[in-house]
Structure 1
């Protein structure tokens, strides 16, 4: 497989591993992924129609032996350091999309925090923002 992906594809991979963490990609998670690719400035030059093919490529990579570790390495090698918090924020958005975070999703968040070397204050702020956005009336 090709070991070079775009920054945007790396961000799609982040969202895919979060969505797939609990072995079920919900409609709300998929909707969040599509909406993110349509609206965030980091995806300005990215065709949202590429999200599904990128997600499929990520899924194929995940099926390989040591797939998760290799995908995490690829993401970290592709993203510039200044987008590590953006990647983490997208993971949190996907995790929060179905209004519940599983232990498997928490584990992926921990792996991303460690891989991106994000500090506790940054991750707490990102997580708190998601909690506020996804509250029900």
Structure 2
């Protein structure tokens, strides 16, 4: 990555982190990232053809020394504060895409919450809404 991240890229980095944290980026999670980029208003204007390249850039950073910390700092420094809760909601969506949130994903969500300075009540509401959306009848 030789340029500063855009807001869109930072949000995608959050989703890639949520998918990669357990060392397996499964098809369900990757599919959910693509769906979110296609339908959410926050991604308006993003060229979907760049999604794979942005995801690869993030994966490269994550694989390096202190990669997770670097990505978290980059995301925090790139996003306007008004999108911090959106970033957390995207991480929750991807973590819950396979209907099973693992310990590593829970730890990442905690790191994102702490790094972005989000309050626990806001995060609990986001998490609860994800549970409601993914519940089977």
TM-score tier after normalising by the smaller chain length: over 0.9
Question: How many Å separate the matches in 1 of 2:114 and 2:3?
Answer: 22
Query: How many residue pairs were aligned?
Result: 137
Question: How many Å separate the matches in 1 of 2:136 and 2:50?
Answer: 31
TM-score, length basis structure 2: 0.97
**Residue 3 of structure 1 contacts residue 74 of structure 1 at CA under 8 Å; is this kept in 2?**
no
Show structure 2 runs of 5+ residues with no match: none
**Residue 22 of structure 1 contacts residue 105 of structure 1 at CA under 8 Å; is this kept in 2?**
yes
Aligned to 2:67: 67
Question: How many Å separate the matches in 1 of 2:5 and 2:105?
Answer: 24
Question: How many Å separate the matches in 1 of 2:63 and 2:95?
Answer: 21
TM-score, length basis structure 1: 0.97
1:16 aligns with 2:16: yes
Partner of 1:46: helix, strand, or coil?
A: coil
Question: How many Å separate the matches in 1 of 2:85 and 2:132?
Answer: 18
Aligned to 2:35: 35
Show structure 1 runs of 5+ residues with no match: none
Aligned to 2:112: 112
Please list every run of at least 4 consecutive aligned residues from structure 1 whose deviation after the TM superposition is greater than 4 angstroms: none
Aligned to 1:123: 123
